[in-house]
Every structure is written in structure tokens, then in C-alpha cells.
Amino acid sequence: MLENKDSLKTPISSMGEFALIEHLTKHFDVKQNSTIKSIGDDAAVIDHKKQTVVTTDLLIEGVHFDLSYMPLKHLGYKSVVVNVSDIFAMNATPTQITVSIAVSNRFPVEALEELYAGIATAAKYYNIDVIGGDTTSSTHGLMISITALGEVAKEQVVYRDGAKENDLVLLTGDLGAAYLGLQILEREKQVFKVNPNSQPDLEPYSYLIERQLKPEARKDIPKLLKELGVKPTSMIDVSDGLSSEILHICKQSKVGCMIYEDKIPLDPQVITTSEEFNMDSTTIALNGGEDYELLFTISQEDYPKIKANPSITVIGHILKPTEGTHLITRGDTKIPIIARGWSATQENQ
């Protein structure tokens, strides 16, 4: 992307800050009734009729993304996704975002156009307004900070701390693919360094790469839960792997849990590619990241309403706090779940 022809490289300095902001944001229209004042004043004005949910994520080049395989358009899209995913995890509807960028003079205007094209595509798909932001320079690299706002009826908001003993633990979609997608992209980057003419066949990894480069947030889930008349007792989005997230729920809800290894949903590409990398697919699901699926608990009486849904899997249940947090392996061994990793060599507890 940055290797565009010279004719396509307009230095940011040739535009000036105000012209640049105007140029990047001119196509953003207002879709939400709650957006009273959008880009162009000292601050935006919002009038949410329900409760307002707010979340922020900061993405740093070299830490959270690598532009050698992440096209800027995808980066823009993904920056929005990671934020709206947090809003859905509150059982809320995202409505607005602000976008702040710090950018070095290594980036031409065309690069920012790509980034904003991705942001605009995501804003359209998730039906949110881009209502402001900030633009500044950096000495090195690119930083993007997005703040998302959403709304939710007071009685519908779902926190991490409501899981109760005997509740079922549910998960949307499948896990581990985005982590493996990153491993594939890293591998191809190394191969490319050695042999720039190599033509990798990435078809066997298409799902993994898509999950890494173009993830989606589960906007269908809060809607589905509402239609089914199910309010989760707790919910979190899976950004850091299943272990960390289930531990957050258990810690904040002051409960224990039992998760079953054979119930953790995995895509066939995750299974074959883990084998290729000599890695355990369960470890990847537990400790990978960037899945942006939703992990939630429901009371047992709500189970009949949800059980027919193919994109939701029951993976365990909630226990008394004294029972601890464990995984039952395929071999029927009980292993404590620990944040960022569990060891298959641990003894029975």
C-alpha cells in the first residue's frame, strides 16, 4: 500500500491540518437520530434516550498492527470492530465513534484515505456515525485511538459480574482462527524476506487470514438475544483468549466454572493448521486472541430458547466460588484455567 507510485504520494504537509481533516471526513453523513451535532464544531452533541455506553481502544503501529501485511483499509475497519465489539458485549447498540490519529510524515495523504475508507465501510456496516476526533503528528509510525459510544435500555445492560451458580456458559462462533491467521502472515513475511518472488498458496488458510485481517463484531447477538427474550447474566467479548475472559467473568461474578475442552468450537482450518504448527488447538483457543466472539452466561431456564441456534455453543457451567475454575480435557482430566496459558502437564486438582 505504501509502495504506491510517486504520483500517488501527496505529502500530508502539503495540505495543512484543517484541509486534511475536511478531506478525510467530508463523506461522513449522520445516520443516528441521537447525533445532534457531528464533525465541525468544538465538540459533538449526542442525545441518547437510553443509557450511554462508552469504550476506547488505542492501537499502536508495531505493537498492535504491522503494516507490512495489514492493509490500511483493513486496519481502519478493524479499529472500528474492536471498539463496537466492546459495546455489543454490554448488550448495547453502538451509535457513534470518534477517531483520533497520530501520523508521521512517512504516510502520504493517500495512506490516510485508505485508512478512512476502511473506517467508513465499518461505520456503514455497523450503522454508526463518525462524530469527531483529533489529528496530530507523530515522530514515528501510526497511532489510532477510537472511542465508541452506544446506547442500551437500563434494564438490558449486561455486566461481567452477574454470573450465578448453575448458569450455563455460552460462546458464539469459534476460537483460535485470528491467532493462527497472524502466525501464517508472520511466516509468509519471513518467507518473502528471503524470496520476494515466492507465490504462497494461502487458500488453505483463507478463513484464518480473514479472521485476522477482517474480523467482525457480533452485532447479531444482542439483537438475537432480545428477540429470544434472553438476557445474559454476564457477558464479555473474547479479545484475549477464552482463559482470560472466563476468568474475568468468574472473578467479577465471584463464582467458579467448569469448561469442557471437547465443547470448545474450532473451525477445521484451526485444527489442521495447529497440527502443521505443532501446536495444541485448545491452547490456541484458550490463549490466542482477537476472536471478537461473545462469551456469556445464561440461567438454565433460558436454555430452551437458545439451544436451536447454530452459532451459539454451550461450553460449560458456573459453579460455587469454592469449586475454582477448571477445564475438563478430552481425556477427562481436570486442569485449572489460568490466564494466558494452561499446562497439559499439570496434575489433577
- Residues of this chain that interact with Mg ion (CB under 5 A) are 134
Q: Which is nearer to ligand ADP, 130 or 213 (CB)?
A: 130
Q: Does residue number 99 form part of the binding site for ligand ADP (CB under 6 A)?
A: yes
Q: Which of 11, 16, 40, 341: binder of ligand ADP (CB under 6 A)? A: 40
The whole-angstrom separation of Cα 87 and Cα 51 is: 12
DSSP class of 262? G
The whole-angstrom separation of Cα 171 and Cα 265 is: 8
Q: Which of 5, 6, 7, 42: binder of ligand ADP (CB under 6 A)? A: 42
Q: Does residue number 132 form part of the binding site for ligand ADP (CB under 6 A)?
A: yes
User: Minimal distance in Å, beta carbon 139 to ligand ADP?
Assistant: 18
User: Minimal distance in Å, beta carbon 15 to ligand ADP?
Assistant: 13
User: Minimal distance in Å, beta carbon 71 to ligand ADP?
Assistant: 19
What residue 133 binds from Mg ion, ligand ADP, none (CB within 5 to 8 A, per partner kind)? ligand ADP
**Cα–Cα nearest to 21, from 104, 107, 83, 99:** 99
Residue number with the shortest CB distance to ligand ADP?
132
**Cα–Cα nearest to 136, from 17, 56, 251:** 17
Q: Which is nearer to ligand ADP, 123 or 208 (CB)?
A: 123
Number of Cβ within a 10 Å radius of residue 182 = 21
What residue 39 binds from ligand ADP, Mg ion, none (CB within 5 to 8 A, per partner kind)? ligand ADP
The whole-angstrom separation of Cα 345 and Cα 121 is: 46
Cβ-count burial of 91 within 10 angstroms (0-12 exposed, 13-18 middle, 19+ buried)? buried
Q: Does residue number 111 form part of the binding site for ligand ADP (CB under 6 A)?
A: no
Q: Which is nearer to ligand ADP, 42 or 201 (CB)?
A: 42
Q: Map grid coordinates 502539503 to a residue.
A: 14
Cβ-count burial of 66 within 10 angstroms (0-12 exposed, 13-18 middle, 19+ buried)? middle
Cβ atoms of residues 246 and 339 within 8 Å: no
Q: Which region, judged by CB under 6 A, interacts with ligand ADP, from 56-64, 128-136, 166-174, 335-343?
A: 128-136
Q: Does residue number 21 form part of the binding site for ligand ADP (CB under 6 A)?
A: yes
Q: Which is nearer to Mg ion, 47 or 134 (CB)?
A: 134
**Cα–Cα nearest to 289, from 247, 228, 328, 242:** 242
Strands 142-152 and 256-260: unpaired
User: Minimal distance in Å, beta carbon 58 to Mg ion?
Assistant: 16
Q: Does residue number 118 form part of the binding site for ligand ADP (CB under 6 A)?
A: no
Q: Does residue number 134 form part of the binding site for ligand ADP (CB under 6 A)?
A: yes
Q: Which is nearer to ligand ADP, 146 or 298 (CB)?
A: 146
Q: Which is nearer to ligand ADP, 32 or 273 (CB)?
A: 32
Q: Which region, judged by CB under 6 A, interacts with ligand ADP, from 36-44, 66-74, 145-153, 337-345?
A: 36-44
Number of Cβ within a 10 Å radius of residue 137 = 12
Cβ atoms of residues 293 and 175 within 8 Å: yes
DSSP class of 175? S
What residue 333 binds from Mg ion, ligand ADP, none (CB within 5 to 8 A, per partner kind)? none
What residue 40 binds from Mg ion, ligand ADP, none (CB within 5 to 8 A, per partner kind)? ligand ADP
Helices (H), 216-302: 220-228, 242-253, 268-276, 281-287
What residue 16 binds from Mg ion, ligand ADP, none (CB within 5 to 8 A, per partner kind)? none
Name the residues that contact ligand ADP, by CB under 6 A: 21, 25, 39-42, 99, 101, 130, 132-135
